[in-house]
Structures are given as C-alpha cells and as structure tokens.
Structure 1
Amino acid sequence: MANIKSAIKRIDVANRNNERNKAMKTEVKSSIKKFEQALNAGNIDEARELLKLIDKKLKKAAHKNIIHQNAASRKMSRLTLKLNKVG
C-alpha cells in the first residue's frame, strides 16, 4: 500500500475511473445483446432504434478513450451490416 498522499489519491482516482469504464463497457455490451435479440426476433424497427442508441454509446466511449476509436467504428460497421442483411 502506498504511503505518500499523492500516490494514495492516484490509486483512488484510478479505481474510480476503472469502475466508470467497466460500467460503460458493460452498458455497450448489453445494448448490443438487445440489438441482436431484436434482430433474431424479427423486430427490425426496434433494432434500428437500438442501433442509434449503440452508435451514441460507442462514440461516447471512444471519445472518453474507454475503447479505441477504430474498435468503435468496427463494431458499428458490423452491426449495421447485420441489420442491412436482415432488413
């Protein structure tokens, strides 16, 4: 355990950021699962709405450096292709 006050603070900040990043990643993954369930069920309109929501969440996560910009673009592209194949 750190003894220096600034090191203790950095540990606290890092833990807080880690929790925030983990929560955002989980939120994105959950949205993607809902999107794929909607596609499998044939709810194309619902899937389109979820895709807009996923796009917003991915861009926000990429902007905050939680995931890489290219990874966000790749995920969005693949999901869009899935939607276009079905609908």
Structure 2
Amino acid sequence: MANTSSAKKAVRKIARRTSVNRARRSQMRTFLRKVEEAIASGDAAAAAQALNTAAPILMRAAQRGVIHKNTASRKVSRLTSRVKALASAG
C-alpha cells in the first residue's frame, strides 16, 4: 500500500482516471454496437446515422487516450466502407 502522501494522492488520481476511462470506453462500445446492429439489420439510412454519431465519439476516445489514434481511424474507416457497401447494395 502507498506510504507517502504523494503516493496516496497518485492512487486516488489513478482510481478516478480509471473510472472515467471505463465510462468512455463503455460509451464508445455502445455506439459501435449500434452501428453494427444497423448494418446487420440492412437499414442503410440507420447505419449512416449511427456512424455519423459514433465516429466523433471514437475520435474523441482516441484524443483522450482511451484508444490509440490509429485504432480509432481504422475502426471508422472499416465501418464507413461497410456502410457505403450497404448503401450501394440497397
């Protein structure tokens, strides 16, 4: 366990940061799931709307350090291509 006051403060900060990051990661996954469900349902308009909502949340998570910037870009890129394929097929 932490002995010094600075170490105790660091433990408190880490606990707070962990809970904030957990909430951000959960929010990000929720919006990703909504895009996936819209794609699975075959509704191109709903998928495009869900993607427009999810993309900024993904990039914000990357900006805040929850996920890596390239990971966010890759996810947005792949989802965008899937939504476009759905729109052109339908």
Q: TM-score, normalised by structure 2?
A: 0.90
Matching residue of 2:42: 42
Q: How does 1:25-36 map to 2 (within 5 A)?
A: 25-36=25-36
Deviation at 1:42, TM superposition (A): 2.0
Runs (5+) with no aligned partner, structure 1: none
Matching residue of 2:70: 70
Matching residue of 2:12: 12
Distance 2:3 2:31 in 1: 41
Q: Which consecutive segments of 4 or more residues in structure 1 shift more than 2 A?
A: none
Runs (5+) with no aligned partner, structure 2: none
Distance 2:59 2:37 in 1: 22
Deviation at 1:7, TM superposition (A): 0.5
What letter matches 2:72 in structure 1? A
Distance 2:3 2:85 in 1: 57
Q: Say whether 1:52 aligns with 2:33.
A: no
Distance 1:74 1:57 in 2: 14
Q: TM-score, normalised by structure 1?
A: 0.92
Distance 1:12 1:65 in 2: 19
